């Protein structure tokens, strides 16, 4: 069987054009190029026109070119569909191209009143069936193979039948030979294109992997913390720039070596024991490491070690992240030193106050006692003026004794040596006792002091509660003007005892309200500032501490010129 020049040209020309088109689509990004959209539609319209009006005598070459144009148009349309729907599968391209070619051939047969061979519709039917299976089960490679075989068979038969219909002098063997030759060359071209695609895909994958590796390396090197990775043999496989700077080393000095090989077995024993334990348990751990920086300055690193696992959960190695906490450790040491100094000063102050209080109480008791003896006439009769002097000495001594007792109580509270004894007691009894102690001071200042009976009882230390009420009532009287009033009242609700001391005196600003409960605050109110209204500032501080010892709290609400309200909240 010898092929004629026309037949060989008809077989090779479509192959060259097809390969050129495929390569052009490959390098011009497929169906996205508008030139090929226009070319495809133009070729499709031209093909239908040629197949419709071509007489039988023009021969096989023109028909082959027209068929090639139809196949080309089908592939271009398939690329366009891929752009629109985002679907990428070259077998689907071939399927759509073959369907377009078959439709064109059958249309030509219909227009030319040629006989339709029964095998052509049968092959097309199989193509449709397997194409549907391919779309439905595209993950199974068997459908790719079967669809490819059927597409080749259908293409060869359609081409051979077309040549026989156009040129009756062409034998069926020659037509099939040319069809097979065309299919072989086309398949070879497609294989070359697929090989080129695979090579380019592999290169793109390598480039993407290289870019990812460069990005990760840049990210690790930009971190201020040290980062390193060891495999299961405890050999370094990665370290970032910060760690290399601290260790004054490069990758060659560390990569593939263990810590014991770098610093020696004895120096690396502790760290490698920790690493081996982490590999066995898979539990993260942390530690502090002392290093020497490039400038010789000691550095403390907080090292966090976590396991790196594979997809099956097995530990592949150890990732270590180190943060420089040298300044934090220095600050911590300074704070500890300052705290110890403050605690020492506080203990010295408490000891001084305690000693001074005891040293002062002894002569004060003697002064008060002798003043009482003089007032009682034990040293002989005194004139009115002398009795006044003795009363002043006694009053001043008692005031100083109360101040010394307050200092002693404050010292005990700060040192934790003041104990309270909780018992059930009557509020009315404690309130009446406190009012009786403050009543002379209130009467002398022309201030109305009142306390309504409540009939309530509570759990408290009677002595401490009395001291609290005396201090609060005394402050209320001290910072009130003549004709003002001071009241003491109590209520109980939901297991909470509320004791309220209210006055209509000068009041305080918000800043003064916060400051008055601090130790040694001088209680001087701007709107009523006299020497008689100043004190050592211990009363409210002692009251707050005693209330907190009972498990309660003290609240102060005050406004300049509108008086002050102090609430004591205690567990009932």
For residue 564, the domain's CATH number is: 3.30.565.10
Q: Among 163-172, 348-357, 513-522, name the most confident range.
A: 348-357
Q: 91 with 53: CB under 8 angstroms?
A: no
Q: What is the pTM of this model?
A: 0.42
Examine the fold and report which residue of 414, 437, 454 is the final residue of a domain before the chain moves on. 414
215 assigned to some structural domain: no
pLDDT at residue 98 is higher than 60: no
CA pair distance 128, 121, nearest whole angstrom: 10
210 assigned to some structural domain: no
Number of domains the chain is built from: 4
For 531-571, what is each residue's pLDDT tens digit?
344 444 567 778 888 888 888 999 888 888 888 999 999 98
24 and 96 co-located in one domain: yes
DSSP 174-241: HHHHHHHHHHHHHHHHHHHHHHHHHHHHHHHHHHHHHHHHHHHHHHHHH-SSEEEEEETT-BEEEE-H
For 208-233, what is each residue's pLDDT tens digit?
888 988 888 888 888 888 888 999 99
214 assigned to some structural domain: no
Examine the fold and report which residue of 414, 438, 456 is the final residue of a domain before the chain moves on. 414
Give residue 479's pLDDT band: very low, low, confident or very high (50, 70, 90).
Answer: confident
Task: Show the tokens assigned to 82.
Answer: 């891929």
Say what the pLDDT of residue 41 is. Answer: 43
CA pair distance 557, 566, nearest whole angstrom: 6
Name which residue leads in pLDDT, 305 or 30.
305
Say what the pLDDT of residue 562 is. Answer: 85
Identify the sign of the CA torsion 150, 156, 161, 162: positive
352 and 471 co-located in one domain: no
pLDDT at residue 524 is higher than 50: no
Name which residue leads in pLDDT, 497 or 298.
497
pLDDT at residue 114 is higher than 50: no
449: part of which helix (H) or strand (E)?
strand 448-451
180-204 as b/e, with b when 16 or more CB fall inside 10 Å? ebbbebbeebeeebeeeeeeeeeee
517 and 490 co-located in one domain: yes
Q: 554 with 472: CB under 8 angstroms?
A: no
Give residue 139's pLDDT band: very low, low, confident or very high (50, 70, 90).
Answer: very low
Give residue 159's pLDDT band: very low, low, confident or very high (50, 70, 90).
Answer: low
Name which residue leads in pLDDT, 177 or 63.
177
Examine the fold and report which residue of 324, 351, 382 is the final residue of a domain before the chain moves on. 324
334: part of which helix (H) or strand (E)?
helix 326-375
Ranking 61-65, 83-87, 511-515 by mean pLDDT, the lowest is: 61-65
CA pair distance 244, 397, nearest whole angstrom: 76
320 and 334 co-located in one domain: no
Q: What percent of the chain has pLDDT over 90?
A: 12
Strands 485-493 vs 448-451: parallel, antiparallel or unpaired: parallel
31 and 89 co-located in one domain: yes
What contacts 68, CB < 8 A, 6 or more positions away? 13, 14, 17, 18
DSSP 390-447: HHHHHHHHHHHHHHHHHHHHHHHHHHT------EEEEHHHHHHHHHHHHHHHHHHTT-
318 and 337 co-located in one domain: no
Q: Which domain, by its residues, includes 171?
A: 5-202
Give residue 377's pLDDT band: very low, low, confident or very high (50, 70, 90).
Answer: confident
Name which residue leads in pLDDT, 333 or 141.
333
CATH of the domain at 269: 3.30.450.20
218 assigned to some structural domain: no
96 assigned to some structural domain: yes
> In the predicted model, what is the mean pLDDT of the chain?
71
Of 458, 360, 463, which is closest to residue 403 (Cα–Cα)?
360
454 assigned to some structural domain: yes
19 and 77 co-located in one domain: yes
Say what the pLDDT of residue 421 is. Answer: 86
pLDDT at residue 138 is higher than 50: no
Count helices and strands in the chain by DSSP H and E runs? 17, 12
123 and 157 co-located in one domain: yes
219 assigned to some structural domain: no
68 assigned to some structural domain: yes
pLDDT at residue 311 is higher than 70: yes
For 30-79, what is each residue's pLDDT tens digit?
444 445 444 444 444 444 444 444 433 344 444 445 455 545 555 555 55
382 and 503 co-located in one domain: no
Give me the phi and psi of 135, to 5 degrees please.
Answer: -65, -35
Q: 303 with 271: CB under 8 angstroms?
A: no
For 314-342, what is each residue's pLDDT tens digit?
899 999 998 888 888 889 989 999 999 88
Quick one: average pLDDT of 119-148?
Answer: 46
25 and 10 co-located in one domain: yes
CA pair distance 414, 518, nearest whole angstrom: 12
175 and 237 co-located in one domain: no
CA pair distance 465, 475, nearest whole angstrom: 15
308 and 341 co-located in one domain: no
Say what the pLDDT of residue 121 is. Answer: 43
CA pair distance 70, 76, nearest whole angstrom: 10
């Amino acid at each position: 069987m010898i092929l004629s020049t026309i037949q060989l040209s008809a077989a090779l020309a479509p192959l060259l054009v097809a390969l050129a088109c495929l390569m052009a689509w490959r390098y011009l990004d497929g169906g996205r190029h508008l030139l090929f959209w226009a070319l495809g539609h133009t070729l499709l319209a031209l093909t239908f026109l040629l197949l419709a009006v071509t007489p039988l005598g023009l021969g096989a070459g023109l028909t082959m070119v027209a068929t090639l144009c139809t196949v080309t148009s089908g592939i271009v349309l398939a690329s366009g569909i891929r752009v629109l729907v985002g679907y990428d599968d070259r077998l689907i391209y071939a399927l759509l191209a073959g369907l377009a070619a078959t439709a064109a051939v059958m249309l030509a047969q219909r227009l030319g009143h040629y006989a339709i061979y029964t095998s052509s519709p049968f092959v097309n039917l199989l193509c449709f069936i397997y194409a549907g299976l391919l779309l439905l089960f595209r993950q199974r490679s068997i459908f790719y193979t079967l669809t490819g075989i059927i597409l080749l068979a259908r293409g060869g038969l359609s081409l051979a039948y077309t040549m026989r219909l156009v040129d009756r002098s062409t034998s069926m063997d020659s037509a099939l030979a040319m069809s097979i030759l065309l299919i072989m060359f086309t398949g070879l071209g497609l294989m070359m294109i697929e090989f080129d695609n695979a090579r380019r895909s592999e290169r793109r994958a390598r480039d993407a992997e290289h870019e990812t590796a460069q990005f990760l390396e840049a990210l690790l090197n930009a971190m201020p913390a040290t980062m390193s990775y060891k495999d299961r043999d405890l050999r370094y496989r990665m370290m970032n720039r910060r760690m290399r700077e601290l260790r004054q080393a490069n990758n060659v000095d560390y990569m593939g070596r263990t810590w014991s090989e770098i610093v020696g077995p004895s120096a690396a024993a502790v760290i490698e024991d920790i690493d081996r334990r982490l590999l066995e348990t898979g539990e993260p751990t942390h530690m502090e490491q002392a290093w020497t920086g490039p400038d010789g300055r000691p550095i403390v690193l907080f090292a966090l070690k976590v396991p790196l696992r594979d997809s099956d959960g097995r530990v592949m190695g150890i990732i270590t992240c180190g943060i420089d906490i040298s300044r934090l450790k220095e600050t911590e040491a300074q704070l500890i030193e300052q705290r110890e100094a403050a605690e020492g000063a506080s203990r010295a102050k408490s000891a001084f106050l305690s000693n001074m209080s005891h040293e002062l109480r002894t002569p004060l008791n003697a002064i008060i006692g002798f003043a009482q003896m003089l007032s009682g006439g034990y040293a002989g009769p005194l004139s009115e003026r002398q009795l006044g002097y003795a009363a002043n000495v006694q009053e001043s001594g008692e005031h100083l004794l109360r101040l010394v007792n307050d200092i002693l109580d404050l010292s005990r509270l700060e040192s934790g040596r003041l104990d309270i004894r909780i018992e059930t007691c009557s509020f009315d009894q404690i309130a009446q006792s406190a009012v009786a102690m403050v009543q002379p001071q209130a009467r002398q200042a022309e201030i109305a002091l009142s306390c309504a009976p409540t009939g309530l009882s509570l759990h408290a230390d009677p002595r401490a509660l009395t001291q609290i009420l005396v201090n609060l009532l005394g402050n209320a009287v001290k910072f009130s003007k003549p004709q003002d009033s001071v009241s003491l009242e109590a209520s109980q609700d939901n297991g909470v005892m509320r004791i309220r001391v209210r006055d209509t005196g000068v009041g305080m600003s918000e800043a003064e309200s916060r400051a008055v409960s601090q130790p040694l605050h001088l209680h001087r109110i701007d709107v009523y500032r006299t020497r008689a209204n100043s004190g050592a500032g211990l009363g409210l501080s002692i009251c707050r501490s005693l209330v907190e010892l009972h498990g309660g709290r003290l609240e102060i609400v005050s406004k300049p010129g509108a008086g002050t309200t102090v609430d004591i909240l205690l567990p009932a």
